[in-house]
């Protein structure tokens, strides 16, 4: 009788905390607060106890070790009109179907062969893990115009102050599938301009969401986040979700961002490179959240989400909430917009749309990586520093043993 020997050579998988799916969320804090669900879409989740944490100052930097939010009772479960579906593989990403890139630090299993029920049972299968960091970034010139034709040699990258061991992928990406979360402040503080913001958001989604290719969801938040439309590529349903929002109550902005990243974007399935983004429309004032600003930022980093913020403060004077929005955007590789008048909100949405279609993708293997749970910095610069400005996320969290 022939004895079948199968060798599985699996290298260290570096990202258990950011792998897509429920297995990732088990290692992370539960959703921080009660999450309301639109009446047509299911019951509300149980409220969560307060963490009692103070909010760090705006200039605070990520700590060397990840902070965990307080555990809560009953993690929120949201069901919408449509459930998330895997993003389609783009033609440019077909060569990467063998390695599933997911989250900040990637652990992708590449099979050299596989055994199925109709194959010879004596065929050996060899698997190895390719560990990669997936970095999406934007380049602009001195006038703010997007530069889309640079090459790999035009950039220098440092991961934890060291050059990568190997750069596996580099290309300009103008049509990555999008997974977008639209977070709209529905508190009393924005009541007088709420209707205009809704219309600007609807126009944005109508322009950027391509049926069968991109997906988005809508969350309104006052004292708690409310999912009024789950993931869908149907812009009509997204418009209804935005119109279903009603202004009123306090402001739990950090909770809303934390929930959107952990329970929606992190769990959204994907089969190829995908650009995950959250659009946060608010005045930046938070008085109800159970997690801190830095915990919300950390969750966005773990979920590989770039956050764009649009301030609803149209006073013409930069306020404390604007500084908070700026901190969130910069820490995640996004951008903060400060419209001087309400009509400029639509222009901010248009600029975000342009940026999401004008980015570069780089996947690399970090050097001297340790599975220690530490925050690892990323520095990427253009060789022509005076001519080009590079904007990307500032780092990621390594998983702990």
Domain boundaries along the sequence of the chain: 21-50+61-99+135-401
**Count of CB atoms situated within 10 Å of the CB of 41:** 18
Extract the tokens encoding 93: 């990403």
* Per-residue pLDDT, 145: 93
* Per-residue pLDDT, 194: 83
Residues 267-286 pLDDT 10s: 998 767 889 999 999 999 99
Residues 210-228 pLDDT 10s: 999 999 999 999 999 999 9
Task: Determine what percent of the chain is predicted with pLDDT higher than 70.
Answer: 67
- pTM for the full model? 0.71
* Per-residue pLDDT, 189: 72
Residues 329-368 pLDDT 10s: 999 999 999 988 777 888 999 999 999 999 999 999 999 8
Average pLDDT over residues 38-42: 48
Give the rounded distance of the alpha carbon of 246 from its chain centre: 26
Q: Is 119 exposed, middle or buried (0-12, 13-18, 19+ CB in 10 A)?
A: exposed
CB 256 within 8 A of CB 183: yes
**φ/ψ of residue 72, rounded to 5:** -125, 165
Q: Domain 21-50+61-99+135-401 is classified in which CATH homologous superfamily?
A: von Willebrand factor, type A domain (3.40.50.410)
> How many Å apart are CA 324 and CA 336, to the nearest integer?
10
Question: pLDDT confidence of 174, banded at 50, 70, 90?
Answer: confident
> How many Å apart are CA 383 and CA 18, to the nearest integer?
31
* Per-residue pLDDT, 258: 98
The C-alpha R_g of the chain, in whole angstroms, comes to 21
| 26 pLDDT above the threshold of 50 | no
| Residues linked to residue 285 through DSSP beta bridges, in sequence order | none
> How many Å apart are CA 95 and CA 142, to the nearest integer?
35
Give the 3-state secondary structure of residue 356: helix
According to DSSP, the β-strands at 306-311 and 336-337 are parallel
Reference 229, options 241, 221, 239; nearest CA is 241
Q: Which residue has the higher pLDDT, 38 or 289?
A: 289
Question: pLDDT confidence of 369, banded at 50, 70, 90?
Answer: confident
| Residues linked to residue 282 through DSSP beta bridges, in sequence order | 311
- What DSSP string describes 61-104? ---SS---PPP-SS------SS---PBPPPGGGGGGTTS---SS
> How many Å apart are CA 170 and CA 136, to the nearest integer?
10
Considering Cα of 62, then 66, then 72, then 77, what sign does the dihedral take? positive
* Per-residue pLDDT, 71: 34
| 94 pLDDT above the threshold of 90 | no
Reference 334, options 312, 363, 310; nearest CA is 310
Q: Which residue has the higher pLDDT, 100 or 153?
A: 153
To the nearest whole number, what is the mean pLDDT of the chain?
Answer: 75
Residues 50-81 pLDDT 10s: 444 443 444 444 443 334 443 333 334 343 45
* Per-residue pLDDT, 157: 97
Give the 3-state secondary structure of residue 344: helix
CB 398 within 8 A of CB 66: no
Task: Determine what percent of the chain is predicted with pLDDT higher than 90.
Answer: 50
> How many Å apart are CA 399 and CA 372, to the nearest integer?
6
CB 55 within 8 A of CB 202: no
| 199 pLDDT above the threshold of 50 | yes
* Per-residue pLDDT, 35: 57
* Per-residue pLDDT, 316: 80
- What DSSP string describes 174-237? S---EEEEEEEE-SGGGGGGHHHHHHHHHHHHHHHPPTTT-EEEEEEESSSEEEEEEEES-HHH
Contacts of 291 (CB under 8 A, 6+ apart): 29, 32, 51, 53, 69, 254, 255, 258
Residues 225-267 pLDDT 10s: 999 999 999 999 999 999 999 888 889 999 999 999 999 999 9
Reference 179, options 271, 311, 245, 75; nearest CA is 271
């Amino acid at each position: 009788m022939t004895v079948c020997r199968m060798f599985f050579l699996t290298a260290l998988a570096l990202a258990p905390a950011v792998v897509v799916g429920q297995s990732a969320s088990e290692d992370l804090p539960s959703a921080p607060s009660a999450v309301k669900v639109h009446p047509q879409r299911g019951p509300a989740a149980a409220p969560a106890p307060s963490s009692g944490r103070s909010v760090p100052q705006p200039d605070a930097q990520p700590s060397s070790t990840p902070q965990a939010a307080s555990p809560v009772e009953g993690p929120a479960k949201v069901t919408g009109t449509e459930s998330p579906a895997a993003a389609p593989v783009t033609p440019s990403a077909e060569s990467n179907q063998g390695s599933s890139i997911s989250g900040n630090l990637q652990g992708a299993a590449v099979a050299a062969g596989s055994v199925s029920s109709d194959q010879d049972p004596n065929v050996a299968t060899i698997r190895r893990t390719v560990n990669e960091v997936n970095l999406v970034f934007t380049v602009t010139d001195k006038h703010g115009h997007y530069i889309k034709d640079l090459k790999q040699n035009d950039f220098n990258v440092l991961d934890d102050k060291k050059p990568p061991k190997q750069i596996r992928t580099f290309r300009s990406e103008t049509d990555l599938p999008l997974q977008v979360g639209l977070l709209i402040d529905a508190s009393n503080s924005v009541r007088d301009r709420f209707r205009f913001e809704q219309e600007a958001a609807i126009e944005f989604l109508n322009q950027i969401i391509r049926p069968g290719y991109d997906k988005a969801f809508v969350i309104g938040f006052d004292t708690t986040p409310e999912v009024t439309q789950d993931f869908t590529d149907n812009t009509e349903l997204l418009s209804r979700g935005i119109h279903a929002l009603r202004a009123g109550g306090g402001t739990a902005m950090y909770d809303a961002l934390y929930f959107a990243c952990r329970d929606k974007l992190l769990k959204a399935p994907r089969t190829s490179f995908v650009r995950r983004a959250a659009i946060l429309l608010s005045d930046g004032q938070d008085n109800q959240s159970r997690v801190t600003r830095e915990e919300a930022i950390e969750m966005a980093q773990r979920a590989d989400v770039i956050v764009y913020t649009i301030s609803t403060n149209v006073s013409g004077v930069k306020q404390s909430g604007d500084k908070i929005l700026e901190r969130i955007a910069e820490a995640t590789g996004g951008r903060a917009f400060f419209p001087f008048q309400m009509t400029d909100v639509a222009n901010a949405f248009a600029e975000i749309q342009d940026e999401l279609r004008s980015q570069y993708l780089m996947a690399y293997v970090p050097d001297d990586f340790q599975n220690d749970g530490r925050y690892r910095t990323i520095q990427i610069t253009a060789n022509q520093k005076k001519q080009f400005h590079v904007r990307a996320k500032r780092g990621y969290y390594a998983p702990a043993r």
